Amino acid sequence: MEMVVVHPDSEFLEDITGKLKEYVMEEMNVKTVTPCNDPMKYASLRAEPNFSTFCFLSVLGKRLGKDMGKVSNEVKKMTQEQILSFEQSGKISFLGHCLTLDDIKVVRQFKRPVDVSEKEIDAAGDGDVLVILDLRADQSLIEAGVAREVVNRIQKLRKTAQLEPTDLIDVYYESVDKNSNTLEQILQSQDQYIRDVLGNSLVPKAAATSDMVVICEESHTVHDMSFVIYIARCMPVLAADLLSYASGNSNHVEALRVYLLSRSISRLKNEFQTGNGKITVKCIEGYPPIDLLLGKHVFLGAGDFYQANRS
């Protein structure tokens, strides 16, 4: 979806498309913000006396005297060209009275492009600024909106579970619709946004291990898609090829799994960071020391494991 902001002031447009751009795009859920300083492209112009307050009306009335009615009519009859010229020069004269930008209000009325239907575009303004929205469906924006709604519900569920911002968790989802692929495809397409906000990918519940420990769960419906969110304890996950790395000794792999599950996930994370992505496990009786690489042999959470195996 595109949003067009129409205003003759270049500095105003620079603010909208500069430092305020990200905020506007997020709040309006639009893909692009396009500035337009050509008031005739999307609007027709109309001029009217600026009787915005009673006090101002009194001042203008005293200045114009008995010519007030005639001058008002002349202002209302201003052509598009006269209005544009007036905006550039800042003044215009009628019946010997010089009127400035404070005396005349220029109103911009939306003019729909001939090749666009009423259902495909909408506009609103205060007479000074005109904002135009292209309402034609954009699948990427729809998917982005769904992802934001899902993330918002996960964050609220974290608060309900009284989790601290620093608490590491795994988040699973389960579609209860007949076509469960739709939600999964959307969440996968928006995975980078989800990871940026939540710090981890969302995992289909079907991919959960048998030792998943659910902290809380909640059902939701977003854009006619019904699903359940599960917040679970974040646990390390061993890679499938660890068995061959451990010389085919399944007992050693199971001992490693039990050992890692017994450790605090936060401490494991710190140890991997200290070891530049590697830890050495040498405390398991009966088995030789073994180096474990983060992201190859071990994943600190179901989200990282799922993302790595999906790529």
Q: What is the CATH number of the domain that holds 189?
A: 3.30.2320
Same domain, 229 and 243: no
Rounded CA separation 4/34 (Å): 5
Note the pLDDT tens digit of each residue in 206-226. 999 888 999 999 999 998 899
Mean confidence (pLDDT) of the chain: 87
Same domain, 120 and 35: yes
Is 305 domain-assigned?
A: no
Q: Are 33 and 62 in contact (CB under 8 A)?
A: no
Same domain, 199 and 161: yes
Predicted pLDDT at 169: 94
Which of residues 184, 207, 233 is at a domain's end? 233
Check whether 252 has a pLDDT greater than 60: yes
| Domain ranges, residue 115 | 2-134
Is 197 domain-assigned?
A: yes
Predicted pLDDT at 255: 94
CA distances from 167 to 147, 215, 229 (A): 22, 12, 17
**Looking at residues 173-178, what average pLDDT do you find?**
90
* Strands, sheet with 225-233, edge to edge from the N-terminal-most edge strand: 203-204, 169-175, 225-233, 214-222
In degrees rounded to 5, what are phi and psi of residue 28? Answer: -95, -5
In degrees rounded to 5, what are phi and psi of residue 53? Answer: -135, 155
Is 176 domain-assigned?
A: yes
**Looking at residues 230-234, what average pLDDT do you find?**
95
Which of residues 207, 233, 259 is at a domain's end? 233
Check whether 114 has a pLDDT greater than 70: yes
Predicted pLDDT at 54: 42
DSSP E strands: which ranges in the chain? 2-6, 32-36, 43-49, 91-94, 97-100, 104-110, 121-125, 130-134, 169-175, 203-204, 214-222, 225-233, 237-238, 278-281, 290-293, 298-299
Q: Are 175 and 226 in contact (CB under 8 A)?
A: yes
Rounded CA separation 120/136 (Å): 5
Q: What angle do CA 19, 88, 77 make, to 5 degrees?
A: 120
Note the pLDDT tens digit of each residue in 66-92. 888 898 899 999 998 999 899 889 999
Number of domains in the chain: 3
Is 207 domain-assigned?
A: yes
